[in-house]
A and B are shown apart, each in its own frame.
Chain A
Amino acid sequence: MERLRGLEAALKELKYDGLNPNHYQLSRIQGLLEEDELVLSELSAAEDALISSAYLEAIADLMLGRTRHSSVEVYLNYQRERPNHFNQVVNHAIRYIDNPEHALALARPQFSDYNNLRVAYKRLADKSAYAVNLPVISPDRPSLRVGMTDARVPLLRQHLQQTIPTAHADLYDQALSDLVKEFQSQQGLEADGIAGPQTIARFNRTPEDDLKVVKVNLERWRRLNPSITESRVIANIPSATLEYYQDNQLILSTRTQVGRKDRKTPLMISEISHFTLNPTWTIPPTIYRNDKLPAIQNNPDYLQSNRLTVLDTQGNRLDPELIDWSNPGAIILRQSAGPHNALGQVVIRFPNQQSIYLHDTPNQRLFDRQQRFFSSGCIRVEDATQLVTLLLESTQSAQATQFDSLLSSGVTRNVNIADPVTIILGYWTLRADENGDIHIYTDIYELDAVLLSALNT
């Protein structure tokens, strides 16, 4: 009976994982525990099997995600080893059969990002129970700027808990703009102090809205849990940031530029295998067709100013003057190596069929933007050379000590990593710190609602 009470307690805790405890027979178990001891000591085989099944399902959902078989938000997986998750769940259930509370606690993803989200879920659930109903602000234009008067300004002051002045209550003044700027910065928005539709939509969010996003992101961690290794590079698309963990310790955190909405960075799991130093850039067909060809047609000097050479499909150099650019046929454009190259000084490569890689960029200014959805799918990394140095050093790769000289030589060459490191191009729209304070990122590819719906079915 103690084990059944332990299971009851563990199942109740699942609400902070954004899971519904009643999906795991909680009500039935609570009903049984209210019966007298004689009934409990003589559970039918069917009752027993039902509880075991709930116990196993809870473990599987915590270890692998409840929507693990769903067709939404599927990752392309190029990891070489695929452990047998089915056996892992059953063995875990048997190993901790004495102590169901322990079994469920250890089935959860064991890293701080997940734990912090659980803390945030608890906090938001309490907050939503006692939430003060703040007025909804109309997101209609015009956007609010310093000097404007608008009936929405007093509502905005209420949201920011700013005392409403007796005179000029409708005036969007500098002090209010500064508070909006601070709010935008916390929310990962462009901190310009202008209250536009996107900023106002964030003001209108309720704790219930945030709870839904926490719920979706908890599920994302659970689904990726089996692929997360102690050493890993995780690039989060919505926050446009990248982190490198070695033995579960954060070694590097840097900013990135990721795929824009119409040229998405694919969700992917792979293993970093090698680097290209001083790379040349062979323009991919989509970029050639959509960006480069129109640019060449509009500007005859484009090829020269961007140091692009024209090749035929055999790799032979062609004279651009002899090409009819209104119908150039099968040609390849290649940008020479050097500081002007779009891939910068290094490319970080991992097996995939989508020709996706991480790379350095000469366009560093764009890293200062809050929203960094600029690329055609590949990921530009702010500290790319530092990341390569750390990866070579931590894996004790042969070229670690020669890296600087190889880089400064200007010669294009590939360098292998001694021990491949897991890379995850992932998607999390919310992050929490250890106190449960949340930071929301723009759901640029609009995936939250789809996963939430899969989770609720």
Chain B
Amino acid sequence: MTGKHLYKKTSQLILLFFCITFILFANPVYSSNQIIDRHSLLVEFLRLTDKQPQLAASGKTSWS
């Protein structure tokens, strides 16, 4: 492959990369990247309830 060909191929690849990036990120259509599963919900719930001492002290964060 000559230098000219290599230059052309690289340019095409860079252009393709930018096109794909544009389609993926500039598209206003909703993508469900906000994963709301039971594990992440629990982690956030425990983190937030721990940060509220009055809530933890009231025993309301325990089901006992």
Using a CB–CB cutoff of 8 Å, the interface residues on chain A facing chain B are 1, 3-4, 7, 40-43, 47-49, 51-54, 56-57, 60, 64, 68-69, 74-78, 82, 84-86, 89-90, 93-94, 97-98, 269, 351, 353
The answer to whether A60 touches B36 (Cβ under 8 A) is yes
Measured in the bound complex, the distance between the Cα atoms of B44 and A427 in whole Å is: 33
Closest Cβ of chain B to A352, distance in Å, is: 9
The answer to whether A57 touches B45 (Cβ under 8 A) is no
B30 located at the interface, meaning its Cβ lies under 8 Å from any Cβ of chain A in the complex: yes
Q: Interface readout for B31-64 with A: 1 if CB under 8 Å, 0 if not?
A: 0101111111110111011001001000011111
Q: Return chain A residues, CB-CB under 8 Å to B35.
A: 69
Residues of A contacting B: mostly: helix
Q: Can you add 15 more A-B contacts, CB < 8 Å, to A52-B42, A74-B30, A76-B30?
A: A51-B63, A52-B46, A53-B39, A53-B41, A54-B38, A56-B42, A60-B36, A68-B32, A74-B32, A77-B28, A77-B30, A78-B29, A86-B44, A94-B48, A97-B55
For the complex of A and B, the 4 pairs showing the least CB-CB separation, nearest first, are A77-B30, A56-B41, A57-B38, A53-B42
Q: Return chain A residues, CB-CB under 8 Å to B62.
A: 43, 48
Beyond A60-B36, A78-B28, whether A1 also contacts B64 by CB under 8 A is: yes
* Other-chain residue from B30, B40, B42, B60 in contact with A98 (beta carbon distance below 8 A): B60
* Other-chain residue from A1, A56, A77, A351 in contact with B45 (beta carbon distance below 8 A): A56
Beyond A42-B64, A78-B28, A94-B48, whether A49 also contacts B36 by CB under 8 A is: no
Beyond A48-B63, A94-B49, whether A89 also contacts B41 by CB under 8 A is: yes
29 contacts between A and B (CB under 8 A): A1-B64, A3-B63, A4-B63, A7-B63, A42-B64, A43-B62, A43-B63, A47-B63, A48-B64, A52-B42, A52-B61, A53-B42, A56-B42, A56-B45, A74-B30, A74-B32, A75-B30, A77-B28, A78-B28, A78-B29, A85-B36, A86-B34, A90-B45, A90-B48, A93-B41, A94-B48, A97-B60, A98-B60, A269-B30
**Residue of chain B at shortest CB distance from A227:** B30
Residues of B contacting A: mostly: loop
The answer to whether A49 touches B40 (Cβ under 8 A) is no
The answer to whether A41 touches B64 (Cβ under 8 A) is yes
**Residue of chain A at shortest CB distance from B47:** A90
The answer to whether B45 touches A93 (Cβ under 8 A) is yes
Measured in the bound complex, the distance between the Cα atoms of B30 and A315 in whole Å is: 34
The answer to whether A94 touches B64 (Cβ under 8 A) is no
Closest Cβ of chain A to B36, distance in Å, is: 5
Measured in the bound complex, the distance between the Cα atoms of B41 and A82 in whole Å is: 19
Closest Cβ of chain B to A451, distance in Å, is: 15
Q: Return chain B residues, CB-CB under 8 Å to A54.
A: 38
Beyond A1-B64, A97-B60, whether A90 also contacts B30 by CB under 8 A is: no
Most chain B CB inside 10 Å of its own CB: which residue of A47, A56, A85:
A56
**Residue of chain A at shortest CB distance from B28:** A78
Q: Interface readout for B1-15 with A: 1 if CB under 8 Å, 0 if not?
A: 000000000000000
Q: Return chain A residues, CB-CB under 8 Å to B42.
A: 49, 52-53, 56
* Other-chain residue from A75, A76, A89 in contact with B36 (beta carbon distance below 8 A): A89
Closest Cβ of chain A to B49, distance in Å, is: 6
